[in-house]
Amino acid sequence: MAATKTPDIVGFVISFILLLLLVSFQTGVAEAKRNLRQERFLESPLPPTAPIYLPPSKSRRGRGP
């Protein structure tokens, strides 16, 4: 009876190890992509933008003319 259980356990252990390897590989790839994105952002920051022009208020109740 123990001879029939052994292949099931071996298959389960191999499947479990493969699952762990797949998960760890996927996490490593995701982390590497995130680090690469951060490095690219730090190397080329966004160009400075022009200040936004706000015309003076023309409201009679406001501070305008």
Q: Return the structure tokens found at 16.
A: 């479990």
The confidence score (pLDDT) of residue 56 equals: 74
What backbone torsions phi and psi does residue 55 show, to the nearest 5 degrees? Answer: -70, 155
Note whether 48 and 54 are within 8 A (CB): no
Amino acid (1-letter code) at residue 27: T
Note whether 57 and 64 are within 8 A (CB): yes
What digits encode the pLDDT tens for the residues 3-52? 567 888 999 999 999 999 999 999 998 898 888 888 877 766 666 777 78
pTM: 0.47
